[in-house]
Structure 1
Amino acid sequence: MTQRAVEKDTSQSSARDGGGSSSDRRRALGYGLLVVLPLLAAAVLLVSHGDRPVRAAAGSPDNHAAAALFFAIAVVVGAARLAGLLAARLGQPQVIGELLAGITLGPTVLDRLAPSVRAWLFPQAAVTGINALAQLGLVLFMFGVGQEVVRNSRDRAGRDGGLIALTSLVLPFAAGTAVALPLASRFAGAAGDSLTFALFVGCALSITAFPVLARILTDLDLIRTRTGRLSLFSAAIGDGICWLLLTATLLLAQGGDLSSLWRPVLLTLLTAVVLLGPVRAGLARYLVHGDRPPKAAFVLMIAVVGIAGSAGITALLGIHQLIGAFLFGLAWPAALPPETSVVPSLGTMAHLLLPFFFLGFGLSVDLGDLPLTAETLAVACLLTAVAIVTKVGGVALAAHLCGMGRREAATLGLLMNARGLTELVVLGIGHEARLIDGEMFAMLTVVALVTTLMTGPGVRLLAGLRGPGREPTP
């Protein structure tokens, strides 16, 4: 580059720099006149003429309640997730870890170690919001249970399925009611008597947990085997009947004698007939067989409105709101195409909200407060033994009579013994309805934990599996 070109570039750069400095000065003058000066004038006027009483600074109670709720949500979801992952690493269903997290955050553990921490984490304002989230999660869960009953009851399990399904229900129910009758005077709740107490305990011991069962079958790669199909079919039939028995028990607990129950029983039957008749047919006609398939968002809206409406109706009738959600799950079409099926999305939402139920469950039960007397220890052992022997032994015997080998039959019995979340929901209903007292509530919670914890390891032991997803060794 020549000397003249260099001088020309230098002069142009200096001109640009000078122009830029002039522009910066004008911009700074604009900020001073148009922004800073008006702000200073407004501040002087407000300070000199403003007159208001001095109050102590305090946050709004609504803000405090909202903060407490969101902090509690963060703690519950995080603790449940971590505990669920730990349970999965130990070969147990995640629901076991989530349940234990809820119990740990309640009076059983946290209240004993640091009561002030528990009171700070879960004040009453937060507990109210958490209970609302728990109820939403439960009705969505029961809708999914109804769908599972419909889907699995259609499975052609052969002639053997009927005997195994009825055995898995009738034997634990009969044994549970027989054991519960002499215990009613000691462990019945304020609203329970010997009849309703015995019926409720029979129902609690007859339940098999769909979500836990399906998860164990998937982990062990047994979901498509004959044993897996028979266990799901039997659980569908047995649990469907069990929920009907629980409904009848709740109605009996309201009305005193049988003659006074005709009105609530009639209204409940009418609700079930309407949901499983016209509503079910109308949903199938519109959602499945219609000329124009509705959009997924509209289908989701129909499902949410139907679940909430059905739950509200059964709650008004005096039975539990979960019964209405379960009935709507039975009425909802199971043959929807994947693009409009709402079951996966609602199932995900239920899975996200269920930790709040576990927290509420943990706050309502104090396993450490259960008196370890000879009487309570004997009753807890008796209930656990009855639950295991009638489920595992009864189902295994029925399966063996149907021609299954001993190991396969015992595996089926162990699978049906998983009670898990479904029994916890039933126990929560019974405790809320005051059919059982706090001691029986705690003992049946122990039964649910023991029977669920033994299922996975027991099936792996019988099947010769070393870990999830492996085939049985010869």
Structure 2
Amino acid sequence: MAAPADPLPDLLIAIPVVILLCKAGARLVRGAGQPPVVGEIAVGLLLGPSFLGWLWPEAQAWLFPPASLPYLGLLGNLGLLIFMFLVGHELQLGSLRSQTRTAAVVSLVSIALPLGLGTLLALGMYGAFAPEGVERLPFVLFIAVAMSITAFPVMARILSDRGMYRTRVGVLALACAAFDDVAAWCLLAAVVAVSTAGSPMEAVTTALSAVAFCLFMVVAVRPLLARLTDRAGRTSTDSLVLVLLFSGLCLSALATDLIGVHALFGAFLFGAVTPRGSRVIEHQTARLRAFAVPVLLPLFFVTTGLRADVGLLATDPAQWLWAGAVLAVAVLAKWGGGTGAARLSGQSWRDAMSIGTLMNCRGLTELIVLNVGLGLGVIGQDLFTILVLMALITTAVTSPVLNRLRKGMPEEEPPAGGRADGEGAEEAAAAGAVGAGAAGGRITS
């Protein structure tokens, strides 16, 4: 029996090609005023069956031979775990305690309305798109959550590029997105628990186990990390902190995976409880970011592109009608809900529409959720492709629409320590929320 071929030579070709093309795509779209993630998603789709596999299938088979795909996926998922750790760490949860009434209302509406409309959409799509054997409840819940996503890191990058992240509108949008980000991962964890549980009792057990693990992380792990990193900072053992952080995020991811709420949730939670403000912690998270985001994360984009196939939609006009319906519901629910709630809370029409536009940005966060759904078998490749296209379009239109809305309008920072909109101290919320990507050197996808 012949030994299986060594995938290493194939990986040594595919990895640099993917990294360099994603970097080129990011630079290209940045020149057009788009966040880098738009170019990276587009490159992933172009390298998949939607373009390269259709135009030149031999080239795609040579670049991504079947034996190498599992290894590319593993490396991409490792980058994704590090990314989720960084999102959790850089999302200052303390900022959520300083929400104003406007931020709370906009956040709740921009989650509740997509959940409601997404549920109605999913009920109509179940017969046509649910994979065989998937029950109605997990399918409906997943689509509802997918409609409610806002990409907090991408939004922060857009606001940073425009110099808006410390303005009144930028602060409010970031505060709303911070709340949405936490709520989205909690909702996704619940959907995974329902999807993987064999009975209602198993789902309840999974949920209780997840809550207990969260409490353990906050009560026991967080103080322990603070002591360990403080000691490491005094003894200048920075490399030990890097090992602790990477090992901790892996073990936390393993714990939540065993519980049944997906490994990504554990990495995010470990990042959230990792102490902030420590020089040694910030230095080591920067080292993780400097490698994972530009090197490992592009592999996730290409594996996503390899899973999506626009050709599946081309043969059936009804598929494109459903794709239009998904896009319409996504925009109406997020943009419409955010705009309406902000307007009813006293914002001007221009500011309200700006907030709604930003809340409609989905980016990498949506791709993460979609890959979880595809991995669980809750959605099939056809619906996965439709939802990836929706994520790309809603992310790509954010910057142009925002530019149009803010054209000729001076952006003013809220008064320090003051009440920027008469309702609360949103500047305090910005100081924490911006940590997930607004400032230079932070997460940019």
TM score, norm. by length of structure 2: 0.86
1:80 pairs with 12, 19, 22, which one? 22
| Matched letter for residue 154 of structure 2 | V
**Structure with bigger RCO (C-alpha 8 Å, 6+ apart):** 2
Instruction: Identify the residue that residue 360 of structure 2 maps to in structure 1.
Output: 417
Q: After alignment, is 219-228 or 329-338 more displaced?
A: 329-338
TM-score, with length taken from structure 1: 0.81
- Pick one of 149, 160, 163 that aligns with 2:105: 163
1:324 is aligned to 2:299? no
Give the structure 1 partner of residue 223 of structure 2.
281
Aligned twin of 1:252: 194
Deviation of 1:381 (Å): 1.4
**Does structure 1 residue 127 correspond to structure 2 residue 69?**
yes
Corresponding position of 2:377: 434
Aligned ranges for residues 58-457 of structure 1 at < 5 Å? Answer: 65-151=7-93, 153-154=95-96, 156-190=98-132, 192-287=134-229, 292=234, 295-337=237-279, 340-352=282-294, 353-371=296-314, 373-457=316-400
SS in 1 for 2:7: helix
> What is the alpha-carbon distance in structure 1 between the residues aligned to residue 134 and residue 283 of structure 2?
41
Q: Cα deviation per residue 1:215-238 (whole Å; 9 max; x = unaligned)?
A: 111111101112111112111111
Structure 2 gap segments, 5+ residues each: 413-445
Q: CA offsets per residue over residues 233-274 of structure 1, 9 Å max, x none?
A: 111111211111111111111223313334333332222221
Contact 1:173 1:205 (C-alpha < 8 Å) held by counterparts: yes
Cα distance, 1:144–1:155 mapped onto 2, change above 3 Å: farther
Q: Is the 8 A contact 1:148 1:236 kept in 2?
A: no
- What is the one-letter code of the residue matched to 1:222? M
Quote the sequence identity (%).
37
Structure 1 runs not aligned, ≥5 long? 1-59
Amino acid at match of 1:105: L
CA RMSD of aligned residues (A): 2.3
Q: Contact conserved, 1:152 with 1:232, CA < 8 A, in 2?
A: no
Aligned-partner SS, 1:342? helix
Deviation of 1:332 (Å): 1.1
TM-superposed CA distance for 1:367, in Å, is 1.3
Which one has a bigger Cα radius of gyration? 1
Q: CA deviation at 1:114?
A: 1.2
Give the conservation status (yes or no) of the 8 Å contact 2:40–2:301: yes
The AA in structure 2 aligned to 1:160 is T
1:390 and 1:456 map into 2 onto residues whose CA distance is 19
Change (3 A) 1:320 1:441: same
Instruction: Report the alpha carbon displacement of residue 375 of structure 1 after superposing the two structures with TM.
Output: 2.6
CA distance in 1, matches of 2:24, 2:345: 42
1:43 is matched with none
Aligned amino acid, residue 337 of structure 1: R
- TM-superposed CA distance for 1:357, in Å, is 0.3
Q: Which residue of 2 aligns with 1:462?
A: 405
SS in 1 for 2:74: helix
Whether the aligned pair in 1 keeps the contact of 2:275 and 2:281 (CA below 8 Å) is no
Count the aligned residue pairs: 409
- Give the distance between the partners of 1:306 and 1:257, measured in 2 at CA: 31
Distance in 2, Cα, partners of 1:303 & 1:374: 49
Aligned residue in 1 for 2:423: none
| Contact 1:184–1:193 (Cα < 8 Å) also in 2 | no
Q: Are the counterparts in 1 of residues 26 and 36 from structure 2 also a CA contact under 8 Å?
A: yes
SS for the counterpart of 1:370 is: helix
Give a deviation string over 1:53-104, Cα, whole Å, max 9, x none: xxxxxxx976x53221111111101111111111111111111111111111
Pairwise CA distance, 1:388: 0.8
1:111 and 1:389 mapped to 2: Cα distance? Answer: 34
Whether contact under 8 Å (1:288, 1:333) holds in the other structure is: no
Corresponding letter in the other structure for 1:209: A
CA spacing shift, 1:83–1:450, aligned 2, 3 Å: same
Shift in Å, 1:340: 4.5
Structure-2 separation of matches of 1:290 and 1:432: 39
Matched with 1:57 is none
Q: Partners of 1:323 and 1:305 in 2: how far apart?
A: 15
Residue deviations 1:37-58, cap 9 Å, x none? xxxxxxxxxxxxxxxxxxxxxx
Alpha-carbon shift at residue 136 of structure 1 (Å): 1.0
Cα offsets for 1:343-372 (capped at 9, x unmatched): 322222221211100110011111122245
Q: Tell me which moved more, 303-312 or 348-357.
A: 348-357
Determine the structure 2 residue equivalent to 1:36: none
